Amino acid sequence: MKWNISTLEELEDAIWRCTACGTCKVAYDYGPPSQCREICPAGTEFGFEGFMASKGKIAFARGILSGELEWDEELVEAVYKCTICAGCQSQCQLDHKPYIPEIFEALRRKAVEAGAGPLPAQKVIAQSLRSYDNPYQGPRRVRTDWARIFKKGKQKPIKDINKEPAPLLYFVGCTGAYNVPERVIPQATASIFNKLGLDYGILGENELCCGSTAMRLGDAEAFKRMAEANLETFKKLHEKQGVETIVTACAGCYRAILKDYSLADEYEEMMKGIKVIHVSQFLYDLYKAGRLEFSGPLPWKVTYHDPCHAGRHLTKFLVDKDGSQLWAGAYISLNEEDCLYDVPRDLLKAIPGIELTEMQRIRANSYCCGGGGGVMTGFPDWAQRNAALRIQEGMETGAETMVSICPFCHYNLNQGAQGIGSPMKLLDLTELIDRVLPEKEV
């Protein structure tokens, strides 16, 4: 398969659009009332320019391209001190805005090519992908452990889509399958699907990592291997088992399949007849169609955390490629229709009894939990400290529970809450919906 994954050199012109104005350092909204808070987890933790927002990473990229900087241990570490959250991207207004996370990842790809990256702790991920097809060093047979509860009692076992046809593939993702505290997410998702009587299946032990982590770490080869295998599987499942929709409850998998996979020349062809959808959108569509009725009430005061991968990472940018509108390469506008900002909020509001209070930094200005971009593996302490900052922001709203739609955020924010002894819990939206969705009458 041919991939259009940019090299740092290909992004050089974009890199030279950054004026070093530093607007990317804070989430600022004129309002009124005007609001301002930190946006960059790396800058917040490490402070020096360089760590701070796009401005810093772009400085590193310039230095590497010009030969003024060379890969040494400290620079490599600095390049990985970034959650690739794209918070900085949301602030920038210049022509390289659409490419900002891509520049960071291209810089990491350059480090990987030079044999300098990723960090030793993160290299284990690539190794694990090779040995186990998941980043968690978990044997393949463990992948379905979460589903054991569905084999008990009255529960209906989940269909193995390799063997039986179904229009709906639930792509579980490695975090939900292997990271034990995160198993609640696939369990809630499957429980909801069962209650709704949906005809769906899972790949079980044959499911492979989506490759998102590898891509974020700059390991394009590992990413391509996983992505190509998955695209082949999806195509086969469509042709042989009638799969039309891939639903995932993982923001990382969703972003990867929707966006990263589309960098393959054959994406359209491989995904022909298949649509990928995040579970929150999937449930929202059912809700709008009157097929999701909640019992209640759930008298909780909650706040909502926008995960980067299901939020601003899905922004589409309009660029004047050929110069016919402004000039070649001009960034024209953005479109947030794919960003899951309103969908989870509307679902939360639909649950009887739920009171939703907002944090200051939301939607495109959401403050990253601190877990992405390989940070949870590379710098677990920092990831946890950063999550604690977000939990504190949630607590400022008076909410008792924080809700999100990403297993990474789920894990890291709960770690953060524990770290500071906060009573706040992070629940996945599916967990709430599962609680209020009545068993379907048969």
Question: Which residues would be at the binding site for other proteins (CB under 8 A)?
Answer: 12-13, 16-26, 28, 30-36, 46-50, 55-56, 59-60, 63, 68-69, 72, 74-75, 78, 91-95, 326-327, 330-331
Least distance in angstroms from the C-beta of 137 to other proteins: 31
- Residue placing its CB nearer to other proteins in the complex, 24 or 82: 24
- Residue placing its CB nearer to ligand SF4 in the complex, 87 or 118: 87
- Residue placing its CB nearer to ligand SF4 in the complex, 79 or 246: 79
For residue 74, the partner it binds in ligand SF4, other proteins, none, with Cβ less than 5 to 8 A by kind, is other proteins
- Residue placing its CB nearer to ligand SF4 in the complex, 203 or 368: 368
SS (H, E, C) the chain: CCECCCCCHHHHHHHCCCCCCCHHHEEEECCCCCEEEECCHHHHHHCCCCCCHHHHHHHHHHHHHHCCCCCCHHHHHHHHCCCCCCHHHHHCCCCCHHHHHHHHHHHHHHHHHCCCCCCHHHHHHHHHHHHHCCCCCCCHHHHHHHHHHHHCCCCCCCEECCCCCCCEEEECCHHHHHCHHHHHHHHHHHHHHHHCCCCEEECHHHCCCCCHHHHHHCCHHHHHHHHHHHHHHHHHHHHHHCCCEEEECCHHHHHHHHHHHHHECCHHHHCCCCEEEEHHHHHHHHHHCCCCCCCCCCCCEEEECCCCCCCHHHCEEEEECCCCCCCCCEEEEEECCCCCCHHHHHHHHHCCCCEECCCCCCHHHCCCCCCCCCHHHHCHHHHHHHHHHHHHHHHHCCCCEEEECCHHHHHHHHHHHHHCCCCCEEEEHHHHHHHHCCCCCC
Q: Of residues 14, 79, 85, 177, which one binds ligand SF4 by CB under 6 A?
A: 85
For residue 36, the partner it binds in other proteins, ligand SF4, none, with Cβ less than 5 to 8 A by kind, is other proteins
Residues 8-37 as x/- pattern, contact with ligand SF4 by CB under 6 A: ----------xxxxxxx-------------
Kindly state the tokens that stand for 268: 């359209």
For residue 171, the partner it binds in other proteins, ligand SF4, none, with Cβ less than 5 to 8 A by kind, is none
For residue 326, the partner it binds in ligand SF4, other proteins, none, with Cβ less than 5 to 8 A by kind, is other proteins
- Residue placing its CB nearer to other proteins in the complex, 70 or 244: 70
Between residue 138 and residue 197, which ones bind ligand SF4 under the rule CB under 6 A? none
Between residue 88 and residue 147, which ones bind ligand SF4 under the rule CB under 6 A? 88, 91-92, 94
For residue 34, the partner it binds in ligand SF4, other proteins, none, with Cβ less than 5 to 8 A by kind, is other proteins
For residue 329, the partner it binds in ligand SF4, other proteins, none, with Cβ less than 5 to 8 A by kind, is none
For residue 54, the partner it binds in other proteins, ligand SF4, none, with Cβ less than 5 to 8 A by kind, is ligand SF4
- Could you tell me the sign of the dihedral formed by the alpha carbons of 419, 422, 428, 431, in that order? positive
- Residue placing its CB nearer to ligand SF4 in the complex, 13 or 239: 13
- Residue placing its CB nearer to ligand SF4 in the complex, 40 or 424: 40
For residue 40, the partner it binds in ligand SF4, other proteins, none, with Cβ less than 5 to 8 A by kind, is ligand SF4
Residues counted in the chain:
442
Least distance in angstroms from the C-beta of 99 to other proteins: 14
Q: Of residues 26, 53, 210, 402, which one binds ligand SF4 by CB under 6 A?
A: 53
Could you list the residues that contact ligand SF4 (CB under 6 A)? 18-24, 39-43, 53-55, 57-58, 82-88, 91-92, 94, 368
